[in-house]
A and B are shown apart, each in its own frame.
Chain A
Amino acid sequence: MTAVAATEPRRMRASLTLSVGIVLVGLHVVVALLTLVWTPYDPAGMAGGRLEGPSLAHWAGTDRLGRDLFTQIMIGSRIALTVGAGAVGIGALIGVTLGILAAFATRFLDDVLAAAFDILIAFPTLLLAMLVVAATDSASLFSAILALGLAISAIVGRLTRILAKRVLEMDYITAARTAGTSWAGIVFIHLLPNIWPTLLVNFALQFGLAVIAEASLSYLGLGAPPPNASWGRLLQEAQGTVYTAPFGAIAPGLALVTLVIGMNMLADGLRDIGDPTRRRSR
């Protein structure tokens, strides 16, 4: 009763959130795809004077080597989306699988997995990245994705385990078992649909954090090496000239913020329309 009155404005807000999220993320996706076939200037070549401000020719100005910043930010979108999707993909696959396994497992295996998640979460991502670089013999975009993916898998694993345990206690799981539903059926028909919305929101959050973390790794030489124009590296490069050419820091910063916010809004909106109990009834 109480909820009904509040449902309509909430639903409108949800669809607004979703629309803005789709627009922001969609913009980055379109730009990233575009860079595969076309960029305004050669990303590695001189395109104008050094540290020029924004102009019609160079929307975001140029860097200290005279390269077009807007071109680099566009390519940064591609890198950011690759890192985010790759890291969250790896993290989700490992984390959700192990989390569900832990929720179903015997006491001993559950304890072992829970401890493993906690240790991995406490482990500094930086150290993890260094270990991955050592193991793969080179610092690359891939090693950064793998390291971030592993770090995310622990967070996702722990969350999945808790969510899954809560669902497994519900009577509808017992009802499913007495109806003859197999364990696989219970996971795919009942468990995943009920924990998915919460996981999705977490994935979006992790996506944003992964984009930011990749920037730090790049700066330390543990991520994508130059000439890959990650936004993090652009920010670092602009640091020294932030007083003389502030736009060099503002532009990649804006790109980063729009993607992260867009991702969060997308997830929030999806969660609200995906949950039948939040939909308006009758």
Chain B
Amino acid sequence: MSLISVENVDFAYARDQQVLDGVSFSVRSGTNVGLVGESGSGKSTILKLLLGLARPSSGAIRFEGETFDARDRTFMRRYRQSVQAVFQDPYSSLDPRQKVEDIVAEPLRSLRIPGDHKRAIRAALHDVGLPEDAVSRYPHEFSGGQRQRIAIARAIVARPKLILADEAVSALDLSTRIRIVELLKTLSDAMTILLVSHDLGVVAALCEEIIILERGKIVESGKTRDILAAPQHPYTRKLLASVPRMPA
């Protein structure tokens, strides 16, 4: 069964501004998916819908077979616990006035998840490769890459099934980027990642499946390896040709 499925979703901010046009795809448990598009492709809108911050104009989103309904509190609680997010900007995504332990603990506290929170926090920090004494420090004491690790610790602390990663490594320097991608790759043994990104290299390194989005429509989707080897749609070809490559 698919973890999450988006079925024929349309979205428009105004009547003449169609942002998503009949978008359908699904994410299966254990298969990382990369949602690739440029500005105006509608990828951020899809993310908003999946985060429950907006509702589709038509069509449906299902989570483990159940229709997404923001008003259904029992469903939302289960959904929030199962689906967590990591954002692009590691500076804006951490509350500057909270200590790391409070930041990481937020999902546990807000969802009133039972169990030993301190231990869960330590485990999450360990999983993302941060030292234990990080708990009592503030975000500004960390570098961009370390801050992104804190954000990832917050996302995994409640042991979700799916992580929505919104350009999660785009703001990082190259050598930090590869380490965070490796971290996400390791974490995806235990959970599934839906990475929204414009960076084909990062998607190729992390995701087994890829969805190419252009102006609100899916133009191509399938196994990452197949699509990179033989892109069918002209837009996919253009995108691929634009990626800066290392000189041979």
Direct contact of A and B (CB under 8 A): yes
A interface with B by C-beta (< 8 Å):
170-172, 174-182, 185, 189-190, 193-194, 275-277, 279, 281-282
Instruction: Pick the contact of A181: B51, B85, B110 (CB < 8 A).
Output: B110
B interface with A by C-beta (< 8 Å):
51-53, 76-77, 80-81, 83-85, 87-89, 92-98, 106-107, 110-111, 138, 140-141, 151, 154, 164
Residue on A with the closest CB to B105?
A: A179
What separation, in Å, do the CA atoms of A178 and B79 have in the docked complex?
9
Residue among A175, A279, A281 having the largest count of chain B Cβ atoms under 10 Å: A175
Instruction: Pick the contact of A194: B87, B96, B106 (CB < 8 A).
Output: B96
What separation, in Å, do the CA atoms of A189 and B89 have in the docked complex?
20
CB within 8 Å for A175 and B151 given contacts A180-B107, A180-B110, A181-B110? yes
Chain A neighbourhood of B84, CB < 8 A: 178-179
What separation, in Å, do the CA atoms of A80 and B85 have in the docked complex?
51
B92→A281 contact, CB < 8 A: no
B110→A175 contact, CB < 8 A: no
Residue on A with the closest CB to B92?
A: A171
Residue on B with the closest CB to A167?
A: B95
CB within 8 Å for A177 and B53 given contacts A185-B110, A276-B140, A282-B141? yes
What separation, in Å, do the CA atoms of A176 and B88 have in the docked complex?
15
Residue among A176, A180, A193 having the largest count of chain B Cβ atoms under 10 Å: A180
Chain B neighbourhood of A276, CB < 8 A: 96-97, 138, 140
24 contacts between A and B (CB under 8 A): A170-B93, A170-B95, A172-B94, A174-B51, A174-B87, A175-B85, A175-B87, A176-B95, A177-B52, A177-B53, A178-B51, A179-B106, A179-B111, A180-B76, A180-B80, A180-B81, A181-B106, A182-B110, A189-B98, A193-B97, A193-B98, A275-B97, A277-B138, A281-B141
Min CB gap B195→A, angstroms: 16
A194→B95 contact, CB < 8 A: yes
What separation, in Å, do the CA atoms of A173 and B81 have in the docked complex?
17
Residue on A with the closest CB to B79?
A: A180
Instruction: Pick the contact of A190: B77, B92, B95 (CB < 8 A).
Output: B95
What separation, in Å, do the CA atoms of A193 and B94 have in the docked complex?
13
Min CB gap B74→A, angstroms: 13
What separation, in Å, do the CA atoms of A277 and B91 have in the docked complex?
12
What separation, in Å, do the CA atoms of A190 and B69 have in the docked complex?
26
A172→B92 contact, CB < 8 A: yes
What separation, in Å, do the CA atoms of A170 and B111 have in the docked complex?
21
A194→B53 contact, CB < 8 A: no
Known: A172-B94, A175-B151, A189-B98. 11 other contacts (CB 8 A): A171-B87, A171-B89, A172-B95, A175-B87, A179-B111, A181-B110, A185-B110, A193-B95, A193-B98, A276-B138, A277-B96
B140→A281 contact, CB < 8 A: yes
Residue on B with the closest CB to A281?
A: B141
Instruction: Pick the contact of A174: B53, B111, B140 (CB < 8 A).
Output: B53
Instruction: Pick the contact of A171: B93, B106, B138 (CB < 8 A).
Output: B93
What separation, in Å, do the CA atoms of A181 and B87 have in the docked complex?
17
Min CB gap B141→A, angstroms: 4
Closest 9 CB pairs of A and B: A171-B93, A180-B80, A181-B110, A179-B107, A180-B110, A171-B92, A276-B138, A180-B111, A281-B141
Chain B neighbourhood of A279, CB < 8 A: 138
Chain B neighbourhood of A178, CB < 8 A: 51-52, 80, 83-85, 164
What separation, in Å, do the CA atoms of A279 and B136 have in the docked complex?
14
What separation, in Å, do the CA atoms of A261 and B76 have in the docked complex?
51
Min CB gap B189→A, angstroms: 23
Min CB gap B201→A, angstroms: 24
What separation, in Å, do the CA atoms of A175 and B154 have in the docked complex?
9
